[in-house]
Amino acid sequence: MSDQRKIRLGAFLRGPGHHVAAWRHPDVPANPGLSLKHYAEGARTAERGLFDMAFLADSLVARNGDQPIATFERTGHVAHFEPLTLLSALSALTEHIGLVATASTTYDDPFHMARVFASLDHLSGGRAGWNVVTSADPGAAANFSRDRHLNHAERYDRALEFVTVVKKLWDSYDDDAFVADKASGIAIDRDKIHVANHIGRHFQVRGPLNVARPPQGHPVIVQAGSSDAGQDLAAETAEVVFTAHANIGSAKRFYSDLKGRLARFGRSPGGLKIMPGIFPVIGRTQAEAEDKYDAIQDLIDPVVGLALASGLLGGVDLSSYPLDGPLPDLPESETVKSRFKLVSDLAHDRQLTIRELYKAIAGARGHYQIVGTANDVADLLEEWFTEGAADGFNIMPPIQPSGLSDFVDTVVPELQRRSLFRTAYEGETLRENLGLERPLSGSQLLATQRA
């Protein structure tokens, strides 16, 4: 393997695939969100393609469950596995691929979160990652006995402290603390225990954790918020950023902005990998790709399309506006700042009607979508990668399982031919494969500070 910088790849697994109408496609099995066989096939296909990671989104509400019944009953992928349990099962069915789960800091406790991700890291031999989100959907509050959803600033303030506490708990013990000396009866080296004793604005957590330090030191921290507060959280804590851009210009600006924030936190640019989402519809010819795309687009139910647009615009009700008229001027959303801007800019820049808007986002939900041959997709990834728009990509298959296997069978070999992608896993852990440093343990940190 040459030392040349390589593209990182994530497989964003979503039961039926990412297109809002994917579940209606003839090639998609019924109710794949609760099929372990289906997810195992996806993860193994990604592993066959030498992907760095499989990535799972999450939500703390049933999608569209608070919408009128006529919308809810037409919504696909409402029922699906909880990510940590699913990835734990997949850890036993895969060997190399990273396993990244989304989990929210707004409706949980750092002790639980530290435990389950440390546990997954041990189960998988160092392949866990945590996509830190703050739950944009205000409906979650009603499922968690809260009067109201926290606003954007409160959520990010809480998230930063939450991640800090989780890392302290992961560092409860040095890597070699559990000496298990049967003869002397000493199970743990007392000099290698670091009790968190955290007292902060949001959390008071004593520790120590009841899991040994994770094989990776810390599971890889992923972040997806692209607002100003989201970028600051990412610059301070994240090692992978998943982000949505509708064009290379936007992606380049984001890339340089976010990498530029790292120095403020004493971090180097290589310590954070930026991976935009890419929604590829791949055909052997351009015409075949377009036919594939049209076949899925034709399955969009207007009711569901409208709900999708409403959701990405922060829950605004669009039902009183004509479908074939323009998107009205809307007040900025307090809950989904960056996605609101992306979608409303898309509508206004391209002067789309509401119907055109939801058709434009029905696949990629604001991420970049490309309809073309494997060579076209490879050209795109190469351009973004070499021109400072991306360190890698989170691939969002339109439908599953064929959307991912198309990519693995046709785009991956082309990227390898161009020496842009690995031909074998370099390391044992997700962190090693991504080329990320292993965090120092508590005692190593103390030694560094003393030196």
Looking at residues 4 to 23 of the shown chain, list those that interact with a copy of itself (rule: CB under 8 A): 23
- Nearer to a copy of itself by Cβ, of 183 and 287: the residue is 183
Query: Binding to a copy of itself by residue 81, rule CB under 8 A?
Result: yes
Among candidates 169, 44, 35, 37, which has minimal Cα distance to 113? 169
- Nearer to a copy of itself by Cβ, of 112 and 348: the residue is 112
Among candidates 149, 201, 150, 195, which has minimal Cα distance to 174? 195
Query: Binding to a copy of itself by residue 175, rule CB under 8 A?
Result: no
The binder of a copy of itself chosen from 2, 182, 351, 424 (CB under 8 A) = 182
Q: Which stretch binds a copy of itself (CB under 8 A): 115-123, 229-237, 356-364, 394-402?
A: 115-123
- Nearer to a copy of itself by Cβ, of 198 and 261: the residue is 198
Angle at alpha carbon of residue 201, lines to 229 and 236, rounded to 5°: 35
Query: Binding to a copy of itself by residue 365, rule CB under 8 A?
Result: no
For residue 360, the surrounding DSSP H or E stretch is: helix 354-361
Query: Binding to a copy of itself by residue 30, rule CB under 8 A?
Result: yes
Residue labelled with tokens 């120092």: 440
The binder of a copy of itself chosen from 98, 139, 219, 397 (CB under 8 A) = 139
In this structure, are residues 6 and 422 in contact, taking their beta carbons and an 8 Å threshold? yes
Query: Binding to a copy of itself by residue 359, rule CB under 8 A?
Result: no
Using DSSP, state whether 274 is helix, strand or coil.
strand
Among candidates 44, 31, 47, 23, which has minimal Cα distance to 81? 31
Least Å from the CB of residue 31 to a copy of itself: 5
- Nearer to a copy of itself by Cβ, of 86 and 233: the residue is 86
Tokens of 153: 């600033």
Q: Which stretch binds a copy of itself (CB under 8 A): 61-69, 272-280, 387-395, 401-409?
A: 61-69
Number of chain positions touching a copy of itself (CB under 8 A)? 79
- Nearer to a copy of itself by Cβ, of 116 and 274: the residue is 116
Binders of a copy of itself among residues 151 to 170 (CB under 8 A) are none
Least Å from the CB of residue 236 to a copy of itself: 21
The binder of a copy of itself chosen from 157, 301, 356, 376 (CB under 8 A) = 301
Residue labelled with tokens 């296997």: 405
Query: Binding to a copy of itself by residue 144, rule CB under 8 A?
Result: yes
- Nearer to a copy of itself by Cβ, of 116 and 235: the residue is 116
Query: Binding to a copy of itself by residue 116, rule CB under 8 A?
Result: yes
Percentage helix, strand, coil, to 5, in the chain? 40, 15, 45
Query: Binding to a copy of itself by residue 119, rule CB under 8 A?
Result: yes
- Pairing verdict, β 204-205 and 198-199: antiparallel
Amino acid at 113: M
Amino acid at 176: D
Least Å from the CB of residue 301 to a copy of itself: 5
- Nearer to a copy of itself by Cβ, of 85 and 285: the residue is 85
How many Cα atoms occupy the beta-carbon half-sphere of 435 within 13 Å?
A: 17
Burial 403-428 (b: 16+ CB within 10 A, else e): bbbbbbebbbebbbeeebbbeebeee
Query: Binding to a copy of itself by residue 57, rule CB under 8 A?
Result: no
Angle at alpha carbon of residue 279, lines to 319 and 30, rounded to 5°: 70
